[in-house]
Amino acid sequence: ETGVTQTPRHLVMGMTNKKSLKCEQHLGHNAMYWYKQSAKKPLELMFVYNFKEQTENNSVPSRFSPECPNSSHLFLHLHTLQPEDSALYLCASSRSGEAQPQHFGDGTRLSIL
Amino acid sequence: QKEVEQDPGPLSVPEGAIVSLNCTYSNSAFQYFMWYRQYSRKGPELLMYTYSSGNKEDGRFTAQVDKSSKYISLFIRDSQPSDSATYLCAMSGNSGGSNYKLTFGKGTLLTVNP
């Protein structure tokens, strides 16, 4: 149990569908992150939230829309995705502040048909 | 030049061997260095966390940082089949803000054979 729970674990969707990924952390952290992990590539940071405010958008296409209603919950809303968006999407959390280690969930494996 | 270089392997060793995993980096601002372990179908799990140069030991694991060479290592002593996983290095510098960005290597796939 990592303290960071992601649902669903697997998601298959068509390019015209709309779906959402959910992340919940039970560690009392104030910063939350979305990463994309593709085969043979380093983890790519997508979004950062600190105390519910978005502080980083790493040039992510608008078909990915994050939402952070509170410090414990993070969502990633998906619409009109492309086949190249198929990947493992990881959520992480940390204490707020410099150089705090990040704790990851087990990810959502997303497949776009 | 990529910010962080890590040999993806795969690396296969017999049980009991000493394993050496390495990363090189180009950004001299990096001061915080981490190693994560990622099992198949799981998220990365923080193994080691070090600041600046030097060594840190935790059980069978030793992390080394050589900032002058921009080179970090993770050593695993008496390797076990349960150590079979992908090992990711990650690093960060002073962001000047309330959060920090981690820059990851691609990961090295390690298999320890019984």
Per-residue pLDDT averaged across A31-53, rounded?
A: 92
Task: Report residues of chain B scoring pLDDT below 50.
Answer: 98
Tokens read off for B90: 């990650």
| pLDDT, greater one: B72 or A50 | B72
Looking at residue A111, its pLDDT comes to 95
Q: Does A31 touch chain B (CB under 8 A)?
A: yes
Tell me how close the Cα of B62 comes to any Cα of chain A, in angstroms: 18
How would residue A16 be classed by pLDDT, with cut points 50, 70 and 90? confident
pLDDT over 80 (residue A67):
yes
pLDDT over 90 (residue A40):
no
d(CA A104, CA B90): 13
Q: Which of residues 33-72 of B touch A (CB under 8 A)?
A: 34, 36, 41-46, 49, 51
Q: Is B81 helix (H, G, I), strand (E, B) or coil?
A: helix
d(CA A57, CA A66): 10
